[in-house]
Structure formats: structure tokens, C-alpha cells
Amino acid sequence: MLCVARLVPGAGAVGLSSRGKASLAAKMLKYRKMWKPKEPENWAMDYRERFIPFSKDQLVDALVKEFHSSSQAKRTSFLSFVSEVDSFLVHRYHSILEQLKVVYEPINPDQDTLQEFSLTDTEKLTKEEEVLGQMEPLLDQANFNKLSEEALAYALMVHHPQDEVQVLVNLDQYEYIKFWALGQRIGPLRVMTTLKAQRGFFGTSLIPAERRYFKRVVVAARIKNGHLVLKCFKDIPLEGLEQLLPAVKVRTSIFYRALLNSMLIVSGLAVFVNVGMVVLSDLKIGTTSLLLFFAAFMAFRAWKVFGQRRNIHALELVHMLYYRSTSNNSELLDALVLRAQEEHAKEVILAHTFLLQLQDQQRHHPLQENTDTQVVSLLKQEVQAWLHLHSGLEITFCAERAHKHLKELRFGGAGPPTITSHSVAG
């Protein structure tokens, strides 16, 4: 059963507007009141998986074997097209990266060169907004989904029982918080831990429960009077997003607090009955003094035990972030541009291949050409069906964007393949 995480009163919200704060606070309160919180409403509509789960080389090999192996000429032509796409996109995305670095450099927290001048906090915020504005289309092309306010409210309020580590987030500390996710999966997710692997009865290993997680999560956050923090992580569950934020505090869950308090009370009573009575009878110490001493001893012991538990959970959190962090700050910009470039190439290659297939099906029917809308609809259906067949995942293919990018290439004056109206029947 999911249990509700603790929230600091007066917590703020994502973004800079007071309206956004009030809206997110209301959604968080809704999840806090739920006895058994459910995943965000309309999740399937808010989150559309667009990530193509194959590398470009894997995709090219699969398409060559299935569609371009009937003759050496078709294979050569296709591989030549792929090479031209790569050449075209390398120059385009190199230019994008250089422009992004120019904007980001004045606020780069990892800068190792001399600064020409210092920026005020207001100027930093303006620069950060500009950086995030330029990142948005890149994240979209890289097929990341920006998580909605509803999803953030759920993630910040609900804690999964598989995660022993819980953190305390005071959103009033932040100027803004943004999350983007890619590669949604539902299945067992093994948690990185510094402790020994948990075992069930008879020494059998416990199999992690299935849960929703993402292959990649990008975080953009800024603490008040701080700087923009850009980070990317892998294999992060929906309920664990708050653990990725800077300036969080590790806390002990309600279950562990109850368990540790029970153990302390039971052991304390045993000590008091077996030792306290002897002290009372032999040393003739007053009952009040002995109780005060005992209470002080138990308070000290509880403080030490809870402190040790927090230290263990803090170490687990550091351990998890160490192994799941993939890139930070300026390195994240490099990785993001490369990912956007690869997703762009994969989309264009898929569009080219399937438009050729549709054209081949109707090459003996010289009828009027379809409109772009019909072409895009057919392309979307065909590619999504092929991706589902080969990956087993429901993936939304951005056919309109891919078709547009394919038109932009126009190598040697040749546009994308065209298909006729009989393609609808095919």
C-alpha cells in the first residue's frame, strides 16, 4: 500500500507565479487526504511515450533486413540516404549546441575560466529562463515529456513502500522546479542500496514489485539565491522524483519511527524491571530520581538510534544518486543535443522507409496524390504498428514532425517519397 509522505506547511509550487503555487498546493493536498493514493488522473493522455527504444544503428540494421535487402541497389541507396541525414544533422545540431553554450556560459556553475563580470540574481534568473526556453524544443525533439502539475503533485506527496529512503521537501526554498521524463516502463525496479539484499523466508530473495519508472529523467531546479541546477538520471520511479531535487532532507518514515519507538519502549521496560528494581532496593535511590534518570537515558538512546537511521538513509540516497546520475549542467546540454540529433535521425529514417513502402504498394496506380494530412495519418499508423511489433511498447510516432523534417532535407532537389490515393486502401 502506498503511504503519504510528509510535507512542510506552506509549501510553494513549480514555477514563479503565485497562481501556479496555489494550483499545485491544492493538488498536493488532494493526494495527502487520500487513504490509498492512485496515480494521476488522465495519466495515459498526459504522458505519451514517443521515445524510439532502438539506437540508430540498430534501427538501420533492422530496416535494411526487412525492407531494403531485396537488391544491392536498394540497400546502397538506403545507406546513402542515412549517411546524408547524418551529415546534414551533424552541422545543424553542432550550431544549436554552440548557441546554447553561449547563452549558458555566464550562469555555468562549473565554469573554470575567469569571469568577465558578475551577474545580479535578477540577471541570472533572466539568463536561466533563456536557457530553459532554448532547451524546451530540444527536449521535445529528444522525445522527453514534460511532467504535468498533476504528476508532480502525486510524485511529491506519495511514497512507495519499496523506497526505504524518504526525503523532506520544502518547496518554499525553490524558485522553480521542472521535470522531463523519457522511456516509461512498468516492471520490477531494483533499488540501489548500501545495505545487504533483503531476504524472505528460508533465505529466498525478495523480488521487487512492479512499478512505473522512467529510463531517463531531466531535472531543472533553482534554490532561492542559488543557481540553476541541471541534472539527468536513469531508472527513476515516478514516486521517487523528489529525491532528485537539491536541498532535500532525509527523514525517517512513519513506519520506521513506530517500529523503532516500539523496540525502544520494550527494551527500556525490560531494563527498568530487571535493573531499576534492584537499584531501588539496594541503593535506596528515590523513585522520582530513578525515573528522571531513566527518561533521560531513553531520550539519549532514541536520539542516537534515530540519528543512525537517518545517516544510513542519507548514505543510501547518496549511493543511489551516484549510480543513477548520468550528466550534470553543461555536460547535460551536450548529451541532450546528441539525443535530440539521434531521435531526429531515427524519425526521418523511419518516415523515409515507410513512405517508400507505401509508394511501392501503389506504383502501378498512377492516381492523384494524397494530401499531406492523409500521408501523415498513414505514416503514423504504419510506423507505430511496426514499432509495437518489434518492441512490444505503445509508442506515439511524431509523423507530422518527421514528414516535415524529411521535406526539409531535399537532397539533390528530391523531396520525400509521394504516395497516391490508393494508399488509403493499402
- Evaluate if residue 283 carries a pLDDT over 90: no
d(CA 241, CA 237) in angstroms, rounded, equals 7
Q: Tens digits of per-residue pLDDT, 237-248?
A: 988 888 888 887
How many whole angstroms separate alpha carbon 250 and alpha carbon 312? 10
Residue 48, all three cell numbers: 505519451
Say yes or no to pLDDT of 306 above 80. Answer: no
Q: Are residues 149 and 120 both part of a single domain?
A: yes
Q: Is the model's pLDDT at 202 over the cut of 50?
A: no
pLDDT at 374: 84
| Structural domain of 259 | 254-311
pLDDT bin (cut points 50, 70, 90) of residue 295 is low
Mean pLDDT of the chain: 78
322 in any annotated domain: no
Residue of 166 and 148 predicted with greater confidence:
148
Highest mean pLDDT among 102-116, 136-150, 306-320, 398-412: 136-150
Answer whether residue 417 is part of any domain: yes
Q: Is position 106 within any domain?
A: yes
**The pLDDT value given to residue 39:** 80
Q: Are residues 275 and 385 in the same domain?
A: no
Q: Residue 104: what pLDDT?
A: 94
| pLDDT score recorded for residue 75 | 93
Rounded to an integer, the average pLDDT of 34-45 is: 80
Is 161 inside any structural domain?
yes
> Do 99 and 144 sit in the same domain of this protein?
yes
Q: Which of 87-91, 231-235, 416-420 has the lowest mean pLDDT?
A: 416-420
Q: Are residues 160 and 231 both part of a single domain?
A: yes
For residue 280, how many other CB atoms are within 10 A of its CB? 13
According to the model, what pLDDT value does residue 309 have? 64
Domain count, the chain: 3
Confidence of residue 136 (pLDDT cuts 50, 70, 90): very high
Task: Average the pLDDT over 299-326 and give the result.
Answer: 69
Domain assignment present for 65: yes
Residue 328 within any structural domain of the chain? no
Cα separation, 177 vs 171, whole angstroms:
9
Let me know if 3 is exposed, middle or buried by CB neighbors in 10 A (0-12, 13-18, 19+): middle
Q: Which residue has the higher pLDDT, 299 or 142?
A: 142
* 209 and 281 co-located in one domain: no
Average pLDDT over residues 126-137: 93
In this structure, are 187 and 270 located in the same domain? no
Which residues on neighbouring strands pair with residue 249, listed in sequence order?
168
Residues 201 and 97 in one domain: yes
The pLDDT value given to residue 364: 54
Q: Is residue 170 part of a domain?
A: yes
> What is this structure's pTM?
0.78
**Band (173; pLDDT cuts 50, 70, 90):** confident
Pick the last residue of a domain from 251, 274, 292.
251
Check whether residue 245 and residue 270 sit in a common domain. no
Question: Which of the pair, 386 or 70, is modelled with greater confidence?
Answer: 386
pLDDT above 70 covers a percentage of the chain that reads 67
Instruction: Clarify whether residues 40 and 149 are in a common domain.
Output: yes
Average pLDDT over residues 348-363: 87
Residue 93: which pLDDT band, with cuts at 50, 70 and 90? very high
243 and 128 housed in the same domain: yes
Q: What is the mean pLDDT of residues 324-347?
A: 94
- Are residues 267 and 244 part of one domain? no
C-alpha–C-alpha distance, residues 388 and 52, integer Å: 10
Say yes or no to pLDDT of 154 above 70.
yes
**Residues 304, 223 share a domain:** no
- The arithmetic mean of pLDDT across residues 335-352, rounded, is 96
In a domain, 324, yes or no: no
What pLDDT, on a 0 to 100 scale, did the predictor assign at position 303?
58
